[in-house]
Structure 1
Amino acid sequence: MKKDEFLRKLNTFIRNENFAKIDEIIKKFREENNLEMICTSSQAFINLYEYNEAIKILDAIKDEYSENGEFCIRYAMALYNSNKEDKSLEWFEKAKEKGIKEIDETSSKYYPKSIDEWIKRAKLWGPRRIEKNNFEKELREKRNKKLILEVNFDKNVLKGLWYNDEYSLKEYVGKTPIDEDFVKVEKELGYRLPESYKALMRIQNGGLLRKNTFEVPFQRDWSRDLVDVMSIYGVDSNKIYSLCGEFGNKLWIEEWKYPNIGIAICGTMTGGHDMIFLDYSDCGPEGEPCVVHIDQEGDYEIAYLADNFKEFVEGLFEYKEDEDD
């Protein structure tokens, strides 16, 4: 079977989520010690933007096959597109040393073919990635992870927070919750809900937001400075847009493949292509989660937003475009 035909076959398996068949094929190549075809199979995942899966395949043969130029360029592309631009540089340079001048296949028609152009990109974005990662690491290390037990929202924070049109009331806003409602949702999700979230839900149990914008803490002229926040999910499971509703946490993690770091708490204008999460990865399921933005279109890149849910809600504001804009 020619490589092009093989990649088309793998592409079909990936689209159909037939990962058992893919594992079977790669296992067979491993038994035959056919490192070339294992390396080639990673291209199918790169073609379909499944960069982390490509990295897993390539990591498994890195010790044995890292001197191969095709390996180097595929590894570099997978790293670069999974938000590891800083780590991709050495592999782009190594691919060039191995005689690679152009990339035959890229996952986007807008990507350059020239290896020199990719090296230039990695040199530009690698240091920026390091800066962003270090900045957000410092925020995580400094934040107070102790539970916030008594929460009151200032009236100015609550004023104009919700956008209660007919659609919001029908699909989002649930009945006023009691303690048993929170306990039931916590048991299903496997996480302790922040007291600040419970306090807000007792005022209004979910809904569309009028104050629908949050300013990210990492401010650079080359980075995104605002995220939109369309809604907050409530705890009334009868509403399709709620934590345990039809379009709730389970959907985003199991079907949309968002990282299993906590709870999808807010929807955005993209219809699921980016989400706001409560992130428990540095505090455990019983701790006080921070709030993060996850970009599904950007290989699930995580951006730190706020130390806790209360701070997040207090930072929301209504975005109004300038007439000049």
Structure 2
Amino acid sequence: MRDDLLAKLDELHEEDEFQEIVDAIMEIPAEDRDYVLISHLGRAMNNLEAYEEAIEQFLTIAEEGKDDPLWHYRIGLAYYYLDRYEDALREFEAADKLEPGDEDTLEFLDDIRSKMASEAIDEQAAEPLEKTHAEVITESESVTEPAVDPDTRAEASGFWNDSEHALEQYVSEPPTDEMIDSVEEKLVFKLPASYIEMMKLHNGGIPRNRCFPIGEAASEAKEHVTISGILGIGHDKKHSLCGELGSRFVIENGGYPEIGVVICDCPSDSEVVMLDYRESLNDGEPEVVHVDRENNYKITRLAVNFEAFIRGLVKENDSYKGTN
């Protein structure tokens, strides 16, 4: 009977039926759930982005899991997506010590250390950085190009997390008019003015706030969309609109609908955030939508335009409802 249950749980995991895993295990009395079952439960909760609940489950088997690299990896994952980087670093370091060389563990360690280093620098130099940004804004107002909306400027200030990974993979020099024309020609879509003006201040990158709440719009299990970064205007950086992992590459290789431009990538390669030109056509302001490949390419409307999308981004912790 137990072997049948474990086989069923593995099958459900392969089919991404994470809520069914949770439901099946929760039907078992708590006193009858052993290390393996609670490990399955915590993993499923992670996949449902219920990270607080996952941590609670993992902590109940902490003593048994202390020598298991998977236990440290999974609880580290939950801490990571709650922005609890010190806790995440501790767990991923333990996982690496128990199972050296795992590529996923090393990638998380590198990203966590970059984020922590960036946060430390930001805290030490917050005032000078804000002053420099203000000076840049003042200078930009003196040119003949259309001025950036004040609220858009406010979003740009302190908006970005310029980690080593972000600078290497996402951030390009401010785009010239020639570069904008070249990218638009390749994409066959005219980019929104609010996006272009934001990229002139900071061309692509990883925001500090990476979650867009969607509530009941998508499904009972998904309360928000998480983005990895915002693609900048350019060809050279891997995560830019026309880069190696840019909009055309993602659409063509992922089979995504030809409705516009991939503007944000996501932690899962089965999700993207796109500019949707179906209603506006190429002369209007495109909506921002989420496309879920694993859910038959379901399209969920997120925001009426790019600026509204940027305004709606929040920290992951702030996007939860009733998970504490």
Q: Deviation of residue 222 (structure 1)?
A: 2.8
Tell me the distance in 1 between the aligned counterparts of 2:203 and 2:218.
35
* 1:164-199 Cα shifts (integer Å, max 9, x gaps): 111110111001111111111110100000000001
Aligned residue in 2 for 1:173: 171
Taking a change above 3 Å as real, the CA distance of residues 110 and 164 of structure 1, as seen in their structure-2 partners, is closer
* 1:273-308 Cα shifts (integer Å, max 9, x gaps): 100000001111232100000001111100000000
Which residues in structure 2 correspond to 1:144-293 (within 5 Å)?
151-154=148-151, 155-216=153-214, 218=216, 222=220, 224-270=222-268, 272-293=269-290
Q: Deviation of residue 153 (structure 1)?
A: 4.6
Tell me the distance in 2 between the aligned counterparts of 1:209 and 1:255.
25
Determine what percentage of the aligned residue pairs are the same residue: 34
Structure with the higher helix share, 1 or 2: 2
Amino acid at match of 2:296: D
Taking a change above 3 Å as real, the CA distance of residues 153 and 279 of structure 1, as seen in their structure-2 partners, is farther
Q: Deviation of residue 236 (structure 1)?
A: 2.1
SS at match of 2:261: strand
Unaligned runs of 5+ in 2: 1-10, 15-145
Amino acid at match of 2:200: R
Tell me the distance in 2 between the aligned counterparts of 1:167 and 1:251.
20
Tell me the distance in 2 between the aligned counterparts of 1:220 and 1:266.
18
Taking a change above 3 Å as real, the CA distance of residues 320 and 179 of structure 1, as seen in their structure-2 partners, is same
Q: TM-score, normalised by structure 1?
A: 0.51
RMSD: 2.7
SS at match of 1:208: coil
Tell me the distance in 2 between the aligned counterparts of 1:210 and 1:293.
19
Unaligned runs of 5+ in 1: 1-107, 112-148
SS at match of 1:304: strand
Taking a change above 3 Å as real, the CA distance of residues 213 and 110 of structure 1, as seen in their structure-2 partners, is closer
* 1:202-252 Cα shifts (integer Å, max 9, x gaps): 110001121101112655983632111221000121101100001011111
Q: Is the 8 A contact 1:151 1:195 kept in 2?
A: no
Tell me the distance in 2 between the aligned counterparts of 1:322 and 1:237.
33
Amino acid at match of 1:176: P
Tell me the distance in 2 between the aligned counterparts of 1:192 and 1:322.
31
**Higher Rg of the two aligned structures:** 1
Tell me the distance in 1 between the aligned counterparts of 2:318 and 2:184.
38
Tell me the distance in 2 between the aligned counterparts of 1:278 and 1:298.
19
Q: TM-score, normalised by structure 2?
A: 0.51
* 1:86-107 Cα shifts (integer Å, max 9, x gaps): xxxxxxxxxxxxxxxxxxxxxx
Tell me the distance in 2 between the aligned counterparts of 1:151 and 1:255.
35
Amino acid at match of 2:156: L
Tell me the distance in 2 between the aligned counterparts of 1:303 and 1:257.
17
Tell me the distance in 2 between the aligned counterparts of 1:266 and 1:219.
19
Taking a change above 3 Å as real, the CA distance of residues 306 and 195 of structure 1, as seen in their structure-2 partners, is same
Q: Does 1:307 align with 2:323?
A: no
Aligned residue in 2 for 1:125: none
Q: Is the 8 A contact 1:150 1:195 kept in 2?
A: no
SS at match of 1:302: strand
Tell me the distance in 1 between the aligned counterparts of 2:147 and 2:215.
25
Taking a change above 3 Å as real, the CA distance of residues 219 and 235 of structure 1, as seen in their structure-2 partners, is closer
